[in-house]
Amino acid sequence: MSTKLPKLLFMLVSLLQLEVLFSDMILVFQDFFPKVYKRKQEHLKETNYCKYDNQILTLFTSSLYFAGLISTFGASWMTRAKGRTVSILFGSVSFFIGAVLNAFAVHISMLIIGRIMLGVGIGFGNQAVPLYLSETAPPSIRGAVNQLFQLTTCLGIFVANVINYFTDKLHPWGWRLSLGLATVPAILMFIGGIFLPETPNSLVEQGRLDEGRRNLERIRGTSNVDAEFEDLKDASEAARAIEHPFRNLLQRKNRPQLVIGAFGIPAFQQLTGMNSILFYAPVIFQSLGMGSGTALYSSMITSGALVIATFVSMHQVDRRGRRFLFLEAGVQMMVSMVIAFYHFLPFTL
């Protein structure tokens, strides 16, 4: 393993905030959505979402995700033209501004603007960080290093649930602390982006060959990088030779990969509903009759299982291969959903 790899880990710790942003918004209801909170308490054992007609609450919830979606287009250009570390720095600044606005919000507009800034940070972070990891990881452990992004995301979910569990007891300012703590990983992300070397792939794409070779030697910890550097140059030249890369994706020979890789797998992964269950776990547990503290505690158990599973995946991915984990995960999800169905069925009757 490269001696420079610990720097990647330092930067990745900052990605905890990607899921701290999804912290339980119930903590905000009492101050900014009192009517919704009151009705929610009156119908504690009922499903809370898709029940109350409150457009401001809908805007508040969806603004982060919509901003993340739109910002990916700008993030794509910046990551390609200016480099991966520039996008990481931009995302961290956006995270910090959003966290500060949310922590000190005195009006719903501040909360929404803060959520938008957090969404922009997610768009840039999700664009640049996985690419950075892939381009700098040693080939022998590339799968495990790529999984670090998932690991920090799962750790972020776990940390968010732990924070929510304790800040839920701090009235009336606990939710401000919960949201404001996102500034900590934002600062770490910014510092990490300053000290991280730009990826050799990015520098070669920009025509900065000498600097690209120096960074490759720095990342690998050796000057014996001739073969890998030549591969980078050949790949860059081949990419530049394609005049219309996005149009080429629509060609018949590329359609299976496009449909399965770009649309099929991501879409069906989301359509399983697993992420929705994960993000709204406290609300779901409350709908089953649990108290606020018990629901958050149950969410901690769920997110803890995520972290453990990610470690198992990191250990196996370079040994068994990506396809094996993909098939195993599919079978595991089907079994888990059947069990969940029979467990929740009595509550719906």
pLDDT top residue among 312 and 239? 312
Question: For residue 22, is pLDDT > 50?
Answer: no
Homologous superfamily of the 4-196+273-347 domain (CATH): MFS general substrate transporter like domains (1.20.1250.20)
Q: Cα–Cα–Cα angle for 263, 12, 28, nearest 5°? A: 80
Return the percentage of the chain with pLDDT > 70, whole number. 78
pLDDT top residue among 89 and 276? 89
Question: For residue 266, is pLDDT > 70?
Answer: yes
Per-residue pLDDT at 15: 46
Instruction: Dump pLDDT digits (tens) for 47-74.
Output: 554 555 667 777 777 888 889 889 999 9
The CB-based long-range contact list for 304-310 (8 Å cut-off, 24+ gap) reads: 304/158, 306/154, 306/157, 306/158, 306/278, 307/151, 307/154, 307/155, 307/158, 309/154, 310/147, 310/150, 310/151, 310/154
Per-residue pLDDT at 6: 47
Question: For residue 128, is pLDDT > 80?
Answer: yes
104-118, 198-212, 285-299, 303-317: range with lowest mean pLDDT: 285-299
Rounded mean pLDDT, 152-169: 78
108-117, 152-161, 313-322: range with lowest mean pLDDT: 152-161
| Confidence band of 16 (pLDDT split at 50, 70, 90) | very low
Distance of CA 52 to the CA centre of its chain: 28
pLDDT top residue among 293 and 46? 293
Per-residue pLDDT at 165: 75
Instruction: Dump pLDDT digits (tens) for 33-42.
Output: 666 666 665 5
- Element containing residue 44 per DSSP (H, E): none
Give DSSP secondary structure letters for 168-237: TTSTTTHHHHHHHTTHHHHHHHHHHHHHSPPPHHHHHHTT-HHHHHHHHHHHHTSS--HHHHHHHHHHHH
Calculate the alpha carbon distances from 12 to 79, 141, 224 in Å. Answer: 17, 16, 27
Rounded mean pLDDT, 260-273: 79
Rounded mean pLDDT, 184-204: 88
